[in-house]
Structure 1
Amino acid sequence: MSETSDKRPAFVVEWRDGFKINVDQVDSEHKHLFTLVKQLDLATVNETLDELLDYVVTHFSNEQQLMENSGYPGFSDHLKLHEAFSSTVADFLSAEDSWDDERIQQLRKFLNKWLIGHIMTHDLRFGNWYREHHGETPAAAVTANKKVGWFDRLLGRG
C-alpha cells in the first residue's frame, strides 16, 4: 500500500448557504472562518493559525457589539460561549504535541463542528430574535444606536 493511501482524507467542510443567519456582516465573517479552517495544513499551520485566531477575535468582537447594541437578552450567555470556545482552543494549542496531519485533522474537525453547531443554534437564535424585535438588519441598528451629540441634534443630523 502506498503512503498516501494510508492517510485519511482531510476533514473539510465547505461553507453553504444553509449556514446563513441572514445577517450579512456575520454571514460574511462566518464564511471567511470556514475558508481559514479549510486552509489549515502542515506546511502553513503556524501562519494560518495566526490569521485564524486574529480573525476569530475580530469576529467575536463584531458579533458581540451587534448583540449588545441591539439589546439582545442572550448576550451574556453568548459571550460565555465565545469565552469557553477560546479557552478550549487555547488548551489545544498549548499542548506540547508537535504538528502533524492527525493533529491538524483533530483541530479542523473540532473547529468545523463547533462553528456549525454554534452558528446553527446560537447565532441563528440571535438573527431570528433580531428580526422579530427590530425588523431591520443588525447593521442598521449599530448605526441607529450610535450616540448623537447635541450639536448634531441641533442641526437635525441625528
Structure 2
Amino acid sequence: MSFVITWTTEFETGIDIIDEQHKRIFEYLEEIDHAIKTHNADEVEHVIKSLIDYAISHNTFEESLMEKAGYPMLEPHHQVHEAFKARAKSYSDRLVQGEDTFRVAREIRTDIGLWLTNHIKRDDKHYVSFVKRNIEGGFVARMLGKFFR
C-alpha cells in the first residue's frame, strides 16, 4: 500500500522560501514512493540520502531565521530538529548495514512524512508570526524581502 502525503495550502507558512523548501521535501517523499514502485534500489538509496541531506540543511536554514529574529523558543525547536537528525541518521545507518532498502524506504516515506506534516502544522506555524514580526523592517527583511508575502 502506498502512503504519500502531498503538499496542500494547509502547510503554507507565508514565508515563501520556507514554503518552497517544505514543498521540495514533499517532492522527495513522492520520489521515494516512485522508486519503491519501480523497484529501483539505487534510486531509492539516492533519494533517501538526498532527502535526509536536504531536510537537515533546511532545518539549519530555518533556525538561522529564528535566531536572527530573536525567537525565544529557538532552543526547543533546535532540539526537535536534532532529534529528527538522529532519526534520519539511523535510517542511513540501517541502509549501510544492509537492511532491506525497500522496507527502510517505506518506513521513511511514512515516518518522515508524518513527522514533517506534524512539525510544519505545530512547531513551524508557531515561529512564523514571531519571525515575520521581528524581522520586518530590519536588515534580514531587506535581505529576504522577496521571500515574504
TM range (shorter): 0.7 to 0.9
Query: 1:23, 1:127 within 8 Å by CA — same for their partners in 2?
Result: yes
Consecutive unaligned residues of structure 2, counting only runs of 5 or more, are 145-149
2:136 aligns with 136
In the alignment, residue 136 of structure 2 is paired with which amino acid?
A: E
**Higher CA-based Rg:** 1
Paired position in structure 2 for 1:107: 108
Aligned to 2:147: none
**1:3-61: CA deviation from partner (whole Å, max 9, x where unpaired):** xxxxx2x1111101110111111111001000011100231111112221221122112
Q: Tell me, what secondary structure is at the counterpart of 1:125?
A: helix
Q: Which residue is equivalent to 1:3?
A: none
Name the structure where helix makes up a greater proportion of residues. 2
Task: Return the offset for 1:137.
Answer: 8.5
Give the TM-score taking structure 2 as reference length: 0.80
Give the TM-score of the pair, scaled to structure 1.
Answer: 0.76
Unaligned runs of 5+ in 1: 1-7, 145-158
Q: Which residue of 2 aligns with 1:37?
A: 29
Q: Matches of 2:105 and 2:86 in 1, distance apart?
A: 18
CA drift at 1:142: 7.2
**Alpha-carbon distance in 1 for matches of 2:139, 2:21:** 13
What percentage of aligned pairs have identical amino acids? 25
The RMSD of aligned alpha carbons is 2.3
